[in-house]
Structure 1
Amino acid sequence: MTDFAAAVDRLHNQVRHWEQPRWKGKAERMYGLVQLLADLGAAAEGQPRRPVPREHDMILADQLRVVADDLVAAAPAPEVLAEAAAAVDEVRKHI
């Protein structure tokens, strides 16, 4: 879990202060990550996948934090957290 938590912290700290122009061309990648983490959390809880509301770009950092916390709370298998950490790191490299 610590690798996942550290990856989320790094990405969150990178983007939480961004203004709207900075999100141009990057928001959809971040939203895709948010949805992936939500899907992994739903699977870990044995719940159906649900779309994460696509709100204003300025709240993507908050959405990241919420779905990451939900995923950790679901106590998924270590390989799921490793997959999630790799996805977070990949997005971080490209935004």
Structure 2
Amino acid sequence: MSAAELDRAVRLLVRQVGHWEQPRWAAAATGGNAARGDLVHRLVQEIANLAADAEGQPRRTVPRLVNDLALPDQLRVVAADLLAAGAAPDALARAAAEVEATRSAL
């Protein structure tokens, strides 16, 4: 998995959700087990964990902001952190798979 493929997956997800208003974020995702905002925050946390691992740093909790409209920006930031960390191809592949799975679940 290349950095370009992860970047593309993130851009597609951001394009899908970037215009959503709060009610749409609060709606249940496919399957009805969690709100869409919760799923995207889980994705943000997972990518942040991969970036911390790639940097050899401890994992930190990504704050769950009150306003879900910030989630696309949080996703962009943690994805950029992962790429800047020089993550191994398997970490990039895992991140891209998580992005694609989240995108499908929304």
What band does the TM-score fall into relative to the shorter chain?
over 0.9
* TM-score normalized by the length of structure 2: 0.88
Please state if 1:53 is matched with 2:63: yes
Structure 2 gap segments, 5+ residues each: 27-34
Aligned length: 95
Q: For 1:86 and 1:54, locate their aligned partners in 2 and report how far apart those are by CA, in whole Å.
A: 22
* TM-score normalized by the length of structure 1: 0.98
Runs of 4+ in 1 over 3 A off after TM superposition: none
Structure 1 gap segments, 5+ residues each: none
Between structure 1 and structure 2, the one with the greater Rg is: 2
More helix by proportion, 1 or 2?
Answer: 1
Letter in 2 for 1:21: P
> Percent identity among equivalent residues?
53
**Per chain length, whose mean CA-contact separation is higher, i.e. which structure has more relative contact order (CA < 8 Å, sep 6+)?**
1
Q: Which residue of 1 aligns with 2:22?
A: 20
Shift of 1:2: 1.3
Q: For 1:77 and 1:67, locate their aligned partners in 2 and report how far apart those are by CA, in whole Å.
A: 16
1:33-79 Cα shifts (integer Å, max 9, x gaps): 00000000000000000000110211001100000001100011001
